[in-house]
Structure 1
């Protein structure tokens, strides 16, 4: 059987999808410049090492979803790629792959 799920059929990932992934937990972002961030319910957190008082300390930098959305290249949960950036009609879009996360339909959204 052939796979009829072409690039044009895949839905675009929204900010509400990122927030929902943050509530579910275990998802990471990989940005265009190679940085990685953990998805939280209201923001993404990037861990940075910082030299402070003669010792290395780990600081979390808070990144809001609407600011980093254009820079997101891949969204992963465990070893599954949930969303990836593709070019469609000359625009870069973040689309769902259909693996690891499925957007609930309207009836399920109202119940939760």
Structure 2
């Protein structure tokens, strides 16, 4: 009995890039109307470097990985550190000016 390779328990992330034919739009301009891109099977994505087309179930998984990564980046950008230095007094209201407005000392 031969040993078989064990399937991995984790999906690896495949680097994707936009299709070079349709530029990631999934359609190409025909003579009278738009046609589904034949090089990427209408997905707009191919494997980076090799230009191979993924199956639809693998493509869904890989696009989910990309979406999760983008959402993590967006949430990291939303949490901005508090400003320090002279610009901080211009960004926040201290209500020390006339009528409770921001006083900066200028």
Provide the TM-score with structure 1 as the length reference: 0.24
Quick check: which has more Rg, 1 or 2? 2
Instruction: Select the structure with the greater relative contact order (CA < 8 A; seq sep ≥ 6).
Output: 1
**1 or 2, which has the higher helix percentage?**
2
**1 or 2, which has the higher strand percentage?**
1
